[in-house]
Structure 1
């Protein structure tokens, strides 16, 4: 199952002149959160565990991981069972609006794609994802 694909964003109504890599940020934040919280899929543990560790150590952003290891595609292979159960509900239904509210509550960015792929962006969103995961866990695990 494919949850997201950067090409869906930069291939559509995307701001002119903005690098395609900016379409990786929102998905990368969620994927980094999942990796940091031990929800990585086996494919990443076997193929490039050093890249998973680079995200956990904040040496590589989630957007960079998504570009380098997933070709911009976020699929069920990227997560373990718990991660997929959570993503199939939260990422599919609520994540994008939660992300927008967390990273740009004052609407200072021209578009959501102008939000930088940084650990500061992650730090704004990760606690909100964690809160949703805790609520989800209470009724799903």
Structure 2
């Protein structure tokens, strides 16, 4: 199953002033968080064991990691069984949970004219602001699932 694909974001209302890589930031933040939170699937733990240390060392930004390690595609192979169960309920575009939290946490106070969610910086500073929200959402989800 494919949750997201960076290429899905390049058309339509994608800002002309941004590189295409900006279409990967929001998903890159989620993937980086999930892998660092221990929700990685066999693909990243067995087939590509260098993925997690690369994120831990912060040698690449979350969006750049998503583009290089996942080819800009977020699929069920990226996550564990628990990770997929969580992503199915939280990352789902229809429910809007993740994107609403992403916008509320990182989309406030963006400069006029650069205020789309695609303008959010692909940085560890952005990740560090978002991480506690994702940690809380996972804990809430686990509590409901117990």
TM-score band, normalised by shorter chain: over 0.9
Q: Which runs of 5+ in 2 are unaligned?
A: none
Q: Which residue pairs with 1:102 in the alignment? A: 105
What secondary structure, in the 3-state scheme, does the structure 2 residue paired with 1:77 have?
A: helix
TM-score (norm 1): 0.93
Runs of 4+ in 1 over 4 A off after TM superposition: none
For the residues of structure 1 that align with 2:61 and 2:51, how far apart are their CA atoms? 10
Q: Which residue pairs with 2:8 in the alignment? A: 8
Q: Which residue pairs with 1:44 in the alignment? A: 44
Instruction: Let me know the Cα RMSD of the aligned residues.
Output: 1.3
Are residues 1:87 and 2:92 paired?
Answer: no
What secondary structure, in the 3-state scheme, does the structure 2 residue paired with 1:59 have?
A: coil
Matches within 5 A, 1:1-141: 1-92=1-92, 93=95, 94-108=97-111, 109-141=114-146
Of the two structures, which has the highest relative contact order with CA contacts closer than 8 Å and spacing of 6 or more? 1
Could you tell me how far 1:8 is from its partner in structure 2? 1.0
What secondary structure, in the 3-state scheme, does the structure 2 residue paired with 1:53 have?
A: helix
Q: Over residues 28-86 of structure 1, what are the superposed CA-to-partner deviations in whole Å (9 max), with x where a residue is unaligned?
A: 11111101111111011222211221112222222112101111111111000111000
For the residues of structure 2 that align with 1:39 and 1:130, how far apart are their CA atoms? 12
For the residues of structure 1 that align with 2:67 and 2:142, how far apart are their CA atoms? 29
For the residues of structure 1 that align with 2:61 and 2:90, how far apart are their CA atoms? 21
What secondary structure, in the 3-state scheme, does the structure 1 residue paired with 2:30 have?
A: helix
For the residues of structure 2 that align with 1:36 and 1:121, how far apart are their CA atoms? 15
TM-score (norm 2): 0.90
Judge conservation of contact 1:35–1:56 (CA < 8 Å) in 2: no
More helix, by proportion:
1
Could you tell me how far 1:24 is from its partner in structure 2? 0.7
Q: Which runs of 5+ in 1 are unaligned?
A: none
Judge conservation of contact 1:6–1:73 (CA < 8 Å) in 2: yes
